[in-house]
Chains A and B, each alone.
Chain A
Amino acid sequence: MPHNSLFLKKIAFSFFATMSPLTTQTQALESFLEKHQSLQQLIASNPNLNNHWKTFFTSLAKLGKNDIVDRVKEIGRFLKENGVTYNIYGDPQGNNRTWKLDLIPNLVDADEWRFSEAGLIQRANLFDLILKDIYGDRRLIKEGILPMEIIYNHPGFIRECCGIKLTGKHNLITYSADMARSENGKIWILNDRTQAPSGAGYALENRLAMARVVPELFLGMKVEKLSPHFGALHNALIAIAPQQKRNPRIVILTPGPGNETYFEHSFLSSHLGFTLVQGDDLMVKDNYVWLKTMGGLEQVDVILRRVDDAYCDPLELKEDSQLGIPGLLQAVRSGNVSIANPLGSSVVENPGLIPFLPAVSRFFLSQELLLPTIASWWCGQPKEKQYVLDNLSTLVVKRIYRDSMNRTSVDATIMSKERLANLKQKILANPHLYVGQEKVHFSSSPSLTEGILKPCNALFRSFVVSDNGTYTAMPGGLTRTSEDKNDIIISNQSGGYSKDTWVLSNNEQTPAGNKKEQDFLNRNSQWYKSDYLPSRTAENFFWVGRYAERVLGTARYLRTVMQYVDEANRSGITNNQPLIKCLVGSLMVYTHYYVGLDDKQYKKKLAAPWNLLNDVLLNEQQAGTLSFNFASFNRAVHSERDQWSTDTWRVLRETEDAWKNTKKLRKNSHYKLLNEIDRLITGLMAFISLNRESINREQGWILLDTGRKTEQMLLLITMLKAALVPINDEPIAYVMHEALLKSNENLVNYRYKYKAHLQMHLVLDLLVLDPNNPRSLLHQLERLQVYIKGLPKTTTGHKLSQQERCLLEAYTLLRLAEVDQLSQPDLTTKTHHNLDVFLGRMNDLIKGISEGLTKTYFKHAQKQQQLISRG
């Protein structure tokens, strides 16, 4: 083999010699190269690609040095704004890391692609046949082609799935393979993915980013389009719908926002028009699967799953799983729901099969494998085990299944003696779980990372989908790179860049023509449409609305209090202590900051107002603070990420980034802090108004606004309580009234309307009873009334629901209220007692509305519990 690769390199150089020198056209790129490196060296490994690389680098050089640097930044910005992220489990930097994309794609020429494509399709067919056989007659085992241990001892072999008849010609709907080129240009398969292959969404997003940011680089390249693949996926899912339904309800089952590829789940959901669901959004009833929506249960026909099979049904599979749907397998057995890929398909994601694949291919297809497999030895056989043990330090060792605790592959060629001995022990203890594999040296691909043009190892994942009785492969895919030559196990879990993958066509006109990728994505108009939002989405909208207002309310009141305290400090008024205490005290009530403080601690806090104000501003660990509320808001927004428009995302990102910087500001720069609060308020207001126009479902906006109104009322009630219930001396009372109006943006309104000195009963009139003031309790309650009337009716007969009951009482209470009576001081309690009682009842009623809505429409309250009897 080394001889061969040398030979190819020679061809490469002689080939170059006959071409015009690359350097004259690509001088602009020289500053990106490391010493002693040349472009030729970077691209020498595959002579078939030389011409393409020349075209590419010429286009790249034309951009000029500065523009290249700008475009790299632009790609980063584009991905960030589109919220392209992946999560790393246990990452101290938290979730939502931005995806990294290299400006230089991975190129695959037409001949190489034709060859790989045929090989991939053959392999998909083969795995489909193996899967059917394992869960059917098990002829491969009976006839001695596969040793039983490779299947039976693999945790992916789910006995509960045996004998289930599935709809459609194929059981395996999607298949993925990781491929790499060896130094002699040969394509090798490194991993097979058959359970819930991820990456196709990232591949498409990479393409959209490239097409947007560096369209010039596509010039003269005839790059195959990716989007038809998603049309094929859509058709494949329709094809497996039970009873050949023509317009089936398809959902994507995700483990949730904490999953590493959650971005992709929501990306696919919005591009394919499938509802994104988590386990507890679905339920099994009457042997069917149902989605919980605002309007009740809706039948689900097809599930595209991103949850590992063992986690999908806590009744029959992993009992403590919270990610699945109890009873799902019963619905599958009854033929009422189809899952892609079917439960149990992880058994063929199994390196133990590799040494036996050529024989399986001959058995089922009477064909040799088109794509060669890397020489592998399964240790469950005595001779093979001995070979692996004798040659361990030259091999890569793989376990036949993945688990979250350990790496599946280890490179024994770079192991210390100790680790080798350890590995040997493991193999000896459970030989049938291990496979030894020849180590192949892979060729590199030119990359531009961190400002340097250099060779990187590249792993290319391709995606195959069942298509009308055969399979088709996406012409392109997801390439990931690593600088470490030995790192054959490139994984995003350890960082690294991705690349767009360009499959180059020979045809004058690619089948996709000049259409843009986007044109394909939006063409399918016969999607299943539902009148109702899924319960989870509804609940998230509601909470996004509530948290948004909580952030705004806290920000405004905090700003007002900070301004007063600042002014009082600077104006040198000597006797300002009572006022400051009163203001800061009311802020503590408003933010519930006082909860858990004893008398001494409370007084201590009051004595150092700026420390307290900073804490209410920035302490993310303390419930009720601005930072805490903003973090809650962000979490709610991210868990419904496919609902926000691109513009909305940009606003969110900018606000988030600005807030991150605020945390770094010096605590005593009050002026700057106030500016940052202003920016946060502007950002949130922009978020809210953008949504009014861009949420594509009417119900979504209604719930978001219902959440807002509910929260605004609760906040206003708390603020009125904090500011007006205590009886204060006249000058302090005046400031409290002013602060109250100011933070509700009603000071100007008051002066215009009453043309009077600030008086309590007028303040109440404006903030509680004025139907024309959008900030008043009455106005907001009236909005809420309209919204709740518009929600789907769930009770039968004339009985009022909890929310209707609370609404009616609150409305009556408000309409009957009289400001004179409310502002009556009570001498025994030394408070405005009537107001206190009134606000207390209003608070309970508004909370009752929120509870009622939760019970009626959101319904995630009841937890699943496991029952088990020993006898």
Chain B
Amino acid sequence: MNYQIIHTTRYRYNQTVSLCHNIARILIRDTDNQHCHHSEVSFTPQPDIINEYEDFFGNKVIYFAIQHEHRELSVTVRSMVEKNTVATKVGNLFDNLPWEEARKIILQPGYKHTDARQFIPVTKATTPTPEIVTYALQSFTVGRPIIEAAHDLMTRIFTDFTFDNTFSTIATPLQEVMDAKKGVCQDFAHLAIACLRSVGLPARYVSGYLETVPPPDKQKLVGMDASHAWFEIYVPEHRWLPFDPTNNMIPAQQHITIGWGRDFTDVSPLKGVVFSSGKHDLKVSVDVRRVG
């Protein structure tokens, strides 16, 4: 399956900005089940400096700076991505591995699970409150298989919470999301990750896209018509399994991964620092459609 993705971010400033520095994580990386054939970024105005490199997690990064006066900034990326038709396999060998066993294996001394183990400590955005710990333990009951428990957690978040893109901001603490039972995909991913980490399991945050224009026979999935987010759990050996609590589904063909990190701040699509005393407004649009 091939997808064409067009992702535009546009800032408008009330006052002239003389200098801005930006970091964009909008180029799609290759994974086990996707390959990015082509991508092209266009900017207005044209940046004076563009640096491209890979970050610690292997995500693709673009740094750009605009060093002349401007009132508007827009970044558009067009990508062509091929998803493998092979469905994501949920392996059977460890299907029945209890989560406590998985944790024990992961924590064994040695280098093997080092990369995964860095996703155990909580971050500012994924710090669990006592209530969140209790919420997690309802899925992670004694001896329950890890995959089943994670699946259950995903379903509970989907059932208990309402998607509402007017409620939270990037700075909203998890407990407030928990109290209101409302939020967006980021909040749900962070909540799930906080739950998993609270029981000592590695979990990572995935930034990506969702098919926004479904084929005629399929229903439109829930998202913000912007980029999407979900979480992955680590199952020994060396496998990360994705879960989308916003849609209560295992991401496969309709989810396209941009990159991953410990939480949103590691993979935010676009962040920057501008020098200006005025305000700004922001518009994001994403279009993901099947081609060929």
Residues of A that sit less than 8 Å from B by CB: 141-144, 147-149, 152-153, 159-160, 162, 283-287, 314-316, 319, 326-327, 330, 333-334, 861-871
A287 and B109 alpha carbons, distance in the complex (Å): 42
20 CB-based A-B contacts, threshold 8 Å: A144-B109, A152-B114, A159-B55, A160-B56, A315-B273, A319-B265, A327-B21, A327-B273, A330-B49, A330-B65, A334-B51, A862-B18, A862-B275, A862-B277, A863-B276, A865-B273, A865-B274, A867-B22, A869-B9, A870-B184
* Residue contact A867 to B277, C-beta cutoff 8 Å: no
Name the B residues within 8 Å of A869 (CB-CB): 9, 268-271, 282, 284
Rounded to whole angstroms, the CA-CA distance of A142 and B112 in the bound complex is 9
Instruction: Please name all residues of chain B whose beta carbon is closer than 8 Å to the beta carbon of A152 when the two chains form the complex.
Output: 114, 117-118, 121
CB-CB under 8 A from A148, the residues of chain B are 111, 114, 117-118
Q: B202 to chain A: closest CB distance in Å?
A: 11
Give Cα A152 to B65, complex, Å. Answer: 30
Q: Which residues of B contact A (CB under 8 A)?
A: 9, 11, 18-23, 48-49, 51, 53, 55-57, 63, 65, 67, 109-111, 114, 117-118, 121, 169-170, 184, 186, 224-227, 265, 268-277, 280, 282, 284, 286
Residues of A within 8 A of B111 (CB): 141-144, 148
B contact residues around A333 at 8 Å (CB):
51, 53
How close is B130's CB to chain A, nearest CB, in angstroms?
A: 12
With A144-B109, A287-B49 known to touch, is A867 a contact of B286 (CB < 8 Å)? no
Give B262's nearest chain A residue, CB to CB: A159
**Which residue of chain B lies nearest to A381 when distances are taken between CB atoms in the complex?**
B109
Residues of chain A within 8 A (CB-CB) of B272 are 315, 866-868
Q: Is the CB of B186 within 8 A of A864?
A: no
B282: chain A residues within 8 A (beta carbon): 867, 869
Distance of A153 Cα from B107 Cα, bound (Å): 14
- Contacts A286-B48, A333-B53; A871 near B224 (Cβ below 8 A): yes
Q: Could you tell me if B21 and A326 are in contact, using CB atoms closer than 8 angstroms?
A: yes
Tell me which of A143, A159, A330 contacts B56 (CB under 8 A). Answer: A159
In the complex the two chains form, is B186's CB within 8 Å of A867's CB?
no
Query: A319–B67 Cα gap in the complex (Å)?
Result: 20
Inter-chain contacts of B48 with A (CB < 8 A): 286
Q: Are B186 and A870 in contact (CB under 8 A)?
A: yes
Distance from A137 Cβ to chain B, minimum over Cβ atoms (Å): 12
Q: How far is the CA of A863 from the CA of B15 in the complex (A)?
A: 12
By beta carbon, the residue of chain B nearest A158 is B56
The 9 closest A-B pairs by CB, nearest first: A871-B226, A159-B56, A326-B273, A871-B284, A867-B272, A327-B21, A862-B275, A152-B118, A148-B114
Q: How far is the CA of A286 from the CA of B67 in the complex (A)?
A: 8
Please report the number of residue pairs spanning A and B whose Cβ atoms sit closer than 8 angstroms.
118
Most B CB contacts (10 A, CB to CB) among A141, A863, A864 go to A864
Chain A residues within 8 Å of B121, by CB: 152-153
Within 8 Å CB of A144, what residues of B? 109-111
The smallest C-beta distance from A82 to any residue of chain B, in angstroms, reads 38
Interface pair B65/A327, CB less than 8 Å apart: yes
Complex contact B67–A867 (CB within 8 A): no
Tell me which residues across on chain A come within 8 A of B9, comparing CB atoms. 869, 871
Q: Which B residues lie within 8 Å of A319 (CB)?
A: 265, 271
Nearest opposing residue in chain A for B275, CB measure: A862
Given A159-B55, A327-B21, A334-B51: A868 and B273 interface contact (C-beta under 8 Å): no
| Beyond known contacts A326-B273, A865-B274, A867-B280: 16 more, CB 8 A cutoff | A142-B114, A159-B56, A159-B57, A162-B56, A285-B65, A315-B22, A319-B265, A334-B51, A864-B274, A867-B20, A867-B22, A867-B271, A869-B269, A870-B169, A870-B184, A870-B284
- A871 & B286 in contact (Cβ 8 Å cutoff): yes
Min Cβ gap A152→B in Å is 4
- List chain B residues, Cβ under 8 A from A286: 48-49, 67
Among A147, A149, A334, A866, contact of B273 (Cβ-Cβ < 8 Å): A866
Q: Once the chains bind, are A868 and B117 in contact (CB under 8 Å)?
A: no
Which of these, A147, A162, A316, A863, contacts B277 with CB under 8 Å?
A863
Contact in complex: B109, A330 (CB < 8 Å): no
> Given the interface contacts A147-B109, A160-B56, A285-B19, does A864 sit within 8 Å of B117 by beta carbon?
no
Q: Which residue of A lies closest to B63 (CB)?
A: A330
> Please, how many angstroms separate the alpha-carbon atoms of A154 and B161 in the complex?
34
A330 CA to B273 CA, complexed, in Å: 13
Which chain B residues border A162 with CB–CB below 8 Å? 56
The answer for the CA separation of A790 and B109 in the assembled complex, in Å, is: 69
Give the distance in Å from the alpha carbon of A721 to the alpha carbon of B121 in the complex. 67
Q: How far is the CA of A4 from the CA of B101 in the complex (A)?
A: 50
B268/A141 in contact, CB under 8 A: no
A287 to B67, CA, bound (A): 11
- Contact residues in A for B114 (Cβ distance below 8 Å): 141-142, 148, 152
A431 to chain B, nearest CB (A): 11
Which of B9, B21, B110, B226 lies at the interface centre, i.e. has the most chain A CB atoms within 10 A of its CB?
Answer: B21
- Which residues of the partner chain B approach A334 to less than 8 Å between Cβ atoms? 51
Instruction: Give the docked Cα–Cα distance between A130 and B175 (Å).
Output: 39
Contacts of B57 in A (CB 8 A): 159
Q: What A residues does B65 contact at CB under 8 A?
A: 284-285, 327, 330
- Complex Cα distance, B284 from A113, in Å, reads 64
Is the beta-carbon distance between B51 and A287 smaller than 8 angstroms? yes
State A333–B23 Cα separation when bound (angstroms). 14
Residue among A316, A330, A864, A867 with most chain B CB within 10 A: A867
Cα–Cα, bound, A444→B289 (Å): 76
The reply to whether A868 and B268 contact each other, CB–CB distance below 8 Å, is yes
Q: How far is the CA of A326 from the CA of B57 in the complex (A)?
A: 22
Distance of B136 from chain A, by nearest CB (Å): 16
B23 CB, nearest partner CB in chain A, Å:
6
Residues of B within 8 Å of A330, CB to CB, are 21, 49, 51, 63, 65
A144 and B112 alpha carbons, distance in the complex (Å): 10
